[in-house]
Structure 1
Amino acid sequence: MSAVDISVTPPASTNRRQLQQIITGLSEGVILIEPDQSITWANEAALSMHGATELAELGGTVSEYRKRFQLRYRNNHRLGEGSYPIDRVIAGEVFEDVVVEVVREGDDEQKWVHRVRSLVLTDAAGEPDCLVLIVADASDWASAEQRFERTFNANPAPAVICRLQDQRYIKVNQGFLEMTGHTREAVIGKGVFEVDVLAMADRRDLAVERLNEGATIPQMQAELNLPDGTTKLVVVAGQPIDLGDEACMLFTFMDLEPRRRAEVALRQSEERFAKAFRITPVPTFICNAESMQVVDINEAVTQTTHYASEDIAGKTIHEIGLFPSQQTYRQFCHALEASGSLLNVEYPVVRKDGEHLDCLVSAETVTIHEVRCYLISLMDITDRKRTEMELVTAIEAVMQDASWFSQTLLEKLANVRRANRPKGNDAYGLADLTAREREVLGHIAEGLADKEIAAELGLSPNTVRNHVAALYSKIDVHSRGEAIVWARERGVAGPPGRPKGRRR
């Protein structure tokens, strides 16, 4: 049966037995107390809600009831004498919806949650005749509320709940407190616009309108004012919910501050990179890693290659013709794809006017605006290599005889020339030499004098000199030093197995 609200004042002749018969079958518990504080009757529902099977287990008086049952409010605050609902009804107080947790003394396992209201029946003179406690079992409701509380508090997503009736906060979880720095006391009981969760919302008018209607508030960005005077960028949304019998609004939040800080840091980093890229004296390209299309160049590229931004923008490295051949371009791409970076690899580079440059090329993979790119830099070493060759030529010009050069110096000169000569010329001139001339050249490369070569080969000194003159003419050198360097560049050595002569 549903609850019965007994709100009329019965005549003095009210038959208590008839009253008891009316309320016996109610689903709500009913306890009758006399003005002298004796408990005279309880229906089966009231007994069951106390874990009792007979009236005596409730205690014969209000005082005994307090001894047998401990009552606490939902905040775990224990009720003292005078605060029990049964005390308050004895005092003639009429109240609604007092929620208490009831525990049997000495048995913490047995507990219930009661929703209690009072009723005072008076006699014809207006004096209390019968005091009534009407008890509803709210254990299931309390259990569900506890589960909600645990879930709400454990949820890492920041959230607050406001009561729609007065738009005041009634719950706040730890996530919101940690995100904002507010204390629980600074939030609970405050109005929605005191701790303003809709501050600076990009659709604030809509949010306020939906709040007043108790309707869903769509996601929108807002700036929360924090206790330290700063603000925090968030996404806020509102969802209507019911807590008990109260209509409420659940506000949830997503903290955008880390993303904003990351965006600011990224923007600052990109600005620093752009400035460094522009002013660096090293010619540098930025190109898309997938298409090899040039995205940007710095001023140093124009100074070195004579290409302007408008000559290059939107074109691929291959379309620009930066490398002199398809094979060189493919070698460069393959090396870059294999490791994602290069460091000082020598490549020929073609200037806009067609002149070839010798360059050391370095490259690194970078991400710009979430696109994978290559940062390619060039170091023009054309003048350096020309200077090295001029130095070698100058040294050779003053060499009349290499006999006074050390073997180490001769090897270094040969290495310098070998590093700077055009590729593919290793065998140039050797095919024109006779076998004897090769033998003579090999001994010259070992640093032997004509007399020593004659002794090695069993020839007269004049014959050796004739061979030397012939090979000088064939290999186009004019001194012994040049002949030694020329031979060492091509790996010419004396005949294997023969003892080497004296070196000077």
Structure 2
Amino acid sequence: MSQDVLTKETNRRQLQQIISGLSDGVMLAEVDQTILWANDAALTMHGVSEVEALGANTEEYAQRFALRYRNNHPLALENYPLSRVAAGEAFSDVVVEVTPTADEHRSWVHRLRSLVLTDAQGEPELLVLILSDATEWASAEQRFEKTFNANPAPAVICRLSDLRYIKVNQGFLEMTGYNRDQVIGRSVYELDVLEQAERKDLAVQRLSEGATIPQMQAELRLPEGGSKLVIVAGQPLDMNEEDCMLFSFTDLEPRRKAEIALRQSEERFAKSFRLTPVPTLVCSAANRQVVDINEAFMNITGFISEELIGKAIEDINFIDSAQACAQLFATLEKAGNVDGQDLKVRKKGSEVIDCVVSADTVIIQDVPCYLLVMMNITERKRSELELVAAIEEVMQDASWFSQTLIEKLANAKSVSSPNLPNVAFTDLTARERDVLGLICEGLADKEIASRLKLAPNTVRNHVATVYSKLGVHSRSAAIVWARERGLFAGELRVKSKK
């Protein structure tokens, strides 16, 4: 063996002794890519115990270990790290996933850099690959990637060195309508996530410093035009040993739309409340204090808003009966609404009017309130009472009227007497039914006594019993009761005045 060869072998042994104990993996190869040696760390990173298991050269190594980039693209043979260093390429941070072809369920992630040792004449003498185990780092990055993509909160990540977006999750794409290619690679100046931010100067300063950006409102421009109201915040983080900023967002657009809809709804309610000709009052459900009254209410009662707003219904005393007032609000508290309750309402100056009140529960500015709608029926009640009195008077002698007129009068009277006594025609005895039928024919007590061949006192007793059972107090009322039920329609006799 020549002295040069001996010296060369001695130097290699010394080099192997120096690097054998390093925690980083080291592989040595000839210029022709023949694998010479690997330290224990490099062997462990491949799951083998002897250098022969790595293969004799790059080609055999590629047969035993499949290499992929982190984007899952497989490496061609010429792109294997040993091939690249043999071709004279220098690299310092190549990350690959290494999988044994004999066991695809195992894999490691290596970060590699190259080194070429030269001889005294400067010619390449030995190829060196220095490996570090990045499996744990890659696993953590993969977990972050999955978490980032699965997080429903919209987010993007930009690299601070050039302020370009390098990651975007599905939440951001769904919120904005952008696709991934419209975001990745663009700068924060092109897709400005801080546009119209409340404290944009502070946000820009923090971004340039790589410091936390506090939450603030901003307008996010959309790809199809328009914008979306969001809350944006920035959090610095390290990715692949690069300083980055994670922007996260909260979509405020649904809240803004809800607020606009609520405001428009309240405006429509306010307009209808003011313009409706029906007297209307709004009071708080909690303490029954008057919140608002409309013009129609002021017209009918004589009060003005300053006299009522802020005061409790009970203190105003505009409902004439305290018992009716208590019943109204007790029903509202239990059922939430009231439909057509009769109330006597006291106007300013103590005049009392008859009203029908309907009420419902409404929410105004997040506060439960009662909406009371009133209809003045004073004139109608007065007219009905006068009509009933007139009917009572003229029907004292039904024989003076035609059958048609009697039916119309009976029907008119029934309008003002909607609550019929809870009694049936069959509740009367046969004799009482006969008496009622003759009353409906317009016969007086003496004529009934003659027709039925009964004593006048007996007829009067039967008539009194009929009145009592029917809940009436006059012949006309008894006739109305019978006509309301379609009784004796064919027996009503028409008499002409002699």
| TM-score using structure 1 length | 0.82
1:452 equivalent among 438, 447, 451: 447
The count of aligned residue pairs is: 451
2:385 equivalent among 381, 385, 389: 389
Q: 1:167 matched to which residue of 2? A: 163
Identity %: 60
The answer (yes or no) to whether the contact 1:396–1:482 under 8 Å persists in 2 is no
Q: 1:258 matched to which residue of 2? A: 254
Deviations 1:351-403 (A, max 9, x none): 11222211110001000100000110001111112222333344455456124
Give the drift of 1:51.
Answer: 1.5
Q: 1:42 matched to which residue of 2? A: 38
Bigger CA drift: 364-373 or 266-275?
Answer: 266-275
Deviations 1:440-491 (A, max 9, x none): 9999699541323545695569x999xx9xx9xxxxxxxxx994246789x9
The answer to whether the aligner puts 1:276 opposite 2:272 as a matched pair is yes
The answer (yes or no) to whether the contact 1:414–1:488 under 8 Å persists in 2 is no
Letter in 1 for 2:221: N
Give the drift of 1:281.
Answer: 0.9
Deviations 1:230-261 (A, max 9, x none): 11100001111222322221111000001111
Q: 2:328 matched to which residue of 1? A: 332
1:366-377 superposed matches below 5 A: 366-377=362-373
The answer (yes or no) to whether the contact 2:217–2:230 under 8 Å persists in 1 is yes
Q: 1:76 matched to which residue of 2? A: 72
1:119 equivalent among 106, 112, 115: 115
Q: 1:360 matched to which residue of 2? A: 356
The answer (yes or no) to whether the contact 1:448–1:503 under 8 Å persists in 2 is no
1:311 equivalent among 283, 307, 314: 307
1: CA distance between counterparts of 2:442 and 2:312? 53
The answer to whether the aligner puts 1:52 opposite 2:43 as a matched pair is no
| Structure 1 residues 464 and 152, CA gap change in structure 2 (3 angstroms) | closer
Q: 1:300 matched to which residue of 2? A: 296
Give the drift of 1:193.
Answer: 2.1
1:279-290 superposed matches below 5 A: 279-290=275-286
Bigger CA drift: 11-20 or 378-387?
Answer: 11-20
The answer (yes or no) to whether the contact 1:413–1:485 under 8 Å persists in 2 is no
| Structure 1 residues 379 and 107, CA gap change in structure 2 (3 angstroms) | same
2: CA distance between counterparts of 1:503 and 1:181? 82
Deviations 1:381-433 (A, max 9, x none): 1111222233334445545612457686676566556579xxxxxxxxxxxxx
2: CA distance between counterparts of 1:102 and 1:225? 43
1: CA distance between counterparts of 2:205 and 2:412? 88
2: CA distance between counterparts of 1:457 and 1:315? 71
Deviations 1:50-86 (A, max 9, x none): 1221111111112221222111110001111221111
| Structure 1 residues 441 and 71, CA gap change in structure 2 (3 angstroms) | closer
Give the drift of 1:17.
Answer: 0.4
Q: Secondary structure at the match of 1:82?
A: helix
The answer to whether the aligner puts 1:99 opposite 2:95 as a matched pair is yes
2: CA distance between counterparts of 1:92 and 1:65? 19
| TM-score using structure 2 length | 0.83
The answer to whether the aligner puts 1:198 opposite 2:194 as a matched pair is yes
2:238 equivalent among 232, 236, 242: 242
Letter in 2 for 1:153: N
Letter in 1 for 2:446: K
Which runs of no fewer than 5 residues in structure 1 stay unpaired?
1-10, 421-439, 472-480, 492-501
Higher helix share: 2
1: CA distance between counterparts of 2:248 and 2:377? 63
Deviations 1:176-215 (A, max 9, x none): 1111111212222222222111111000000111111111
Q: 1:484 matched to which residue of 2? A: 475
Give the drift of 1:319.
Answer: 1.7
